[in-house]
């Protein structure tokens, strides 16, 4: 199923767009894909789907949620409620965070700032993939379908058993950690005086008049397409309902697109703030990309478009293969999902985006 607008100069042909979304499911790990493509002038607005998904299906956007967290934090900063270089101890009780970052016998939790959390430069280990004293990661049982809630208190208890990766803010160091964004969610709740799900709704969803976008908080909600881990559907509603700030938003490709365009257009905060987010550190897992301050840059090897470099591809990935990216050099926006938790489907989404960017002037 596809929808398209009128043609314009430099617009990729519909057949190329159709082929791109079909090829996303030729990856043996991908059972369904959604792809939406728009440009800044709205002369290109196309959406399509393949496999077991339809273009307007609701899906879990997973860590793309973190881009919405970035939005809230920049708004709060603009209003003078927070400063990004404030220590997190200004907003979080000591009994919650004490001992969260103990390295070589020294507790450095007090050195961690909001910016460190946003940039994944706090050194705090990821509770989800970090292996505990038993050698196991929390992710393993969840991917096997063992559904259980992970409230922040449980997360920090686990993190205290995991060794930090480096000193907060250590130059050139980065570690992708969902723990950071769980803490940011609690900071937002503290200053807003309400659950982060409600802050998302009031400050983003309602403002953009999004009707299919919400924080997943009801484990009995079965209106969202299930994700896959390898070849098995994964149903973990209790878990997703408990991790709102790191990855709990449900949306559609068209509504993520509306948000993505508003994010880069300065609808929520001055557009000039985007440049401040581009303090890149290279991440090698999951995937290879540069992580800034609450923003990612997906790296596209020059060999994939040798004569017309693609340049920056700014936005965010989700563990589920959900994506939201903007390519400034061609003024193209991409949203959608490959709905595969294993990480093996992300390359299919990258290939589709590259194919389209190569054919757009």
Report pLDDT for 121.
98
Q: What is the pLDDT of residues 39-92, one digit of tens each?
A: 999 999 999 999 999 999 999 999 999 999 999 999 999 999 999 999 999 999
The DSSP 8-state label assigned to residue 12 in this structure reads P
How would residue 6 be classed by pLDDT, with cut points 50, 70 and 90? very low
The DSSP 8-state label assigned to residue 125 in this structure reads P
Q: What is the pLDDT of residues 190-236, one digit of tens each?
A: 999 999 999 999 999 999 999 999 999 999 999 999 999 999 999 99
As given in the structure block, the two tokens for residue 58 are: 């609701």
- At a CB cut-off of 8 Å and minimum separation 6, what does 311 contact? 327, 328, 329
How would residue 2 be classed by pLDDT, with cut points 50, 70 and 90? low
How would residue 7 be classed by pLDDT, with cut points 50, 70 and 90? very low
Q: 183, exposed or middle or buried, with CB in 10 Å at 0-12, 13-18, 19+? A: buried
Residues 84 and 77: their CA atoms lie apart, in Å, by 7
Report pLDDT for 8.
39
Mean pLDDT of all residues belonging to the chain: 94
Is the pTM value of this prediction over 0.85?
yes
Q: Can you list the domains of the chain with their CATH numbers? A: 2-64+249-358 (3.40.710.10), 67-197 (3.40.710.10)
Q: What is the pLDDT of residues 154-177, one digit of tens each?
A: 999 999 999 999 999 999 999 999
Question: Which of 5-9, 19-23, 60-64, 140-144 shows the lowest mean pLDDT across its residues?
Answer: 5-9
Average pLDDT over residues 247-258: 98
């Amino acid at each position: 199923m596809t929808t398209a607008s009128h043609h314009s100069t430099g617009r990729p042909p519909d057949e190329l767009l159709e082929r791109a979304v079909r090829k996303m499911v030729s990856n043996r790990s991908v059972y369904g894909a959604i792809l939406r493509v728009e440009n800044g002038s709205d002369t290109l607005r196309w959406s399509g789907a393949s496999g077991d998904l339809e273009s307007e299906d609701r899906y879990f956007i997973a860590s793309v949620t973190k881009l919405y967290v970035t939005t809230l934090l920049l708004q709060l900063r603009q209003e003078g409620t927070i400063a990004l270089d404030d220590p997190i101890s200004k907003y979080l009780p000591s009994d919650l965070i004490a001992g969260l970052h103990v390295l070589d016998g020294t507790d450095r939790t007090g050195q961690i700032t909001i910016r460190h959390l946003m940039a994944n430069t706090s050194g705090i280990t990821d509770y989800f993939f970090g292996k505990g004293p038993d050698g196991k990661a929390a992710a393993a049982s969840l991917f096997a379908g063992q559904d259980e809630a992970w409230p922040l208190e449980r997360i920090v208890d686990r993190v205290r058993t995991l060794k930090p990766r480096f000193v907060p803010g250590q130059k050139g160091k980065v570690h992708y950690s969902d723990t950071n964004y769980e803490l940011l969610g609690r900071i937002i709740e503290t200053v807003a005086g309400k659950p982060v799900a409600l802050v998302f709704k009031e400050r983003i969803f309602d403002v953009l008049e999004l009707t299919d976008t919400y924080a997943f908080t009801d484990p009995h909600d079965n209106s969202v397409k299930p994700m896959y881990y390898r070849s098995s559907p994964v149903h973990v509603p209790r878990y997703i309902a408990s991790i709102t700030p790191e990855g709990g938003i449900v949306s559609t490709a068209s509504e993520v697109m509306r948000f993505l365009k508003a994010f880069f257009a300065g609808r929520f905060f001055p557009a000039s703030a985007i440049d401040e987010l581009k303090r890149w550190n290279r991440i090698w897992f999951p995937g290879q990309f540069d992580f800034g301050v609450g923003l990612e840059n997906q790296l596209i090897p020059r060999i994939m478009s040798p004569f017309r470099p693609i340049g920056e591809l700014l936005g965010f990935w989700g563990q589920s293969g959900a994506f939201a990216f903007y390519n400034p050099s061609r003024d193209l926006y991409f949203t959608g999902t490959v709905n595969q938790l294993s990480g093996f489907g992300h390359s299919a989404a990258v290939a589709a985006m590259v194919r389209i960017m190569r054919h757009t002037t």
